[in-house]
Copies of this chain bind each other. A is one copy, B any other.
Amino acid sequence: MAESAAKAKTKRKDRILDAAEALFAKHGFEGVSMRRVAEEADVDLALSSYHFGNKRGLFDAVLLRRAEVLNETRLAALERCKAEADEGGPSVEAIINAFLEPMLAHGYQEDEGWRHYFELIAQVNSSFEWGGQLMTKYFDPLVRKFMDALKEALPNADPADLYWCYHFLSGALTLTFAHTGRIDQLSEGVAKSEDMVGAYERMVPFVAAGFRRLCDK
């Protein structure tokens, strides 16, 4: 009763997105069938096709839903760090922080939806067939604004160095949020992949130091 009431509370369309998000995150696009999504969402098989056209449309809708939210939050964080900066502009550390901190802000610890989403993004980012196109489409317009801020913070940087540094950041970031559990096994429990706050607090100085080494001339 409690479960079916909870399921009935949210609309079917959102239930489909939630179920697809979780399943795509775990098994990838091709590893999930429309029937499995429908089953998990407690919905008829044909309904996903009705709402999203086809499987690919469903996949895109899953990606887009939280991309819009994350982009807005990141933009606000960037504006805020600019406003709080001295006349010299925000530091590299502050800019990196504005990029990373919003990923933890969305109730990450409680909301498993966001966790699934970041796991999915990690897969998409390093996927040959989607990494270039989809990440560019959904995230790079905003990333460019962060790159502009970094160019001001590191005015003597070679642009190619800056882009490579962002690429390294992107790889470190998405793998960390992929939650594969590898670091738990490698470190034998010394470092825990669930400790996203610890990862975040280390990633900011790690990445900023890399930017400075290559781009602070």
Contacts of A119 in B (CB 8 A): 128
State whether the Cβ of A183 lies closer than 8 Å to any Cβ in chain B: yes
State whether the Cβ of A70 lies closer than 8 Å to any Cβ in chain B: no
Q: Which of these, B129, B163, B183, contacts A164 with CB under 8 Å?
A: B183
Q: Is the interface of A mostly helix, strand, loop or mixed?
A: helix
Number of interface residues of A (CB under 8 A): 67
State whether the Cβ of A117 lies closer than 8 Å to any Cβ in chain B: no
Q: Taking the nearest CB of chain B, how far is it from the CB of A84, in angstroms?
A: 23
A178 to B135, CA, bound (A): 14
Which residues of A in the span 52-93 have a Cβ within 8 Å of any Cβ on B?
none
State whether the Cβ of A191 lies closer than 8 Å to any Cβ in chain B: yes
- Show the binding face of A for B, using Cβ within 8 Å: 25-31, 119, 122-123, 125-132, 135-136, 140, 143-144, 147, 159-161, 163-176, 178-187, 190-191, 198-199, 202-203, 205-214
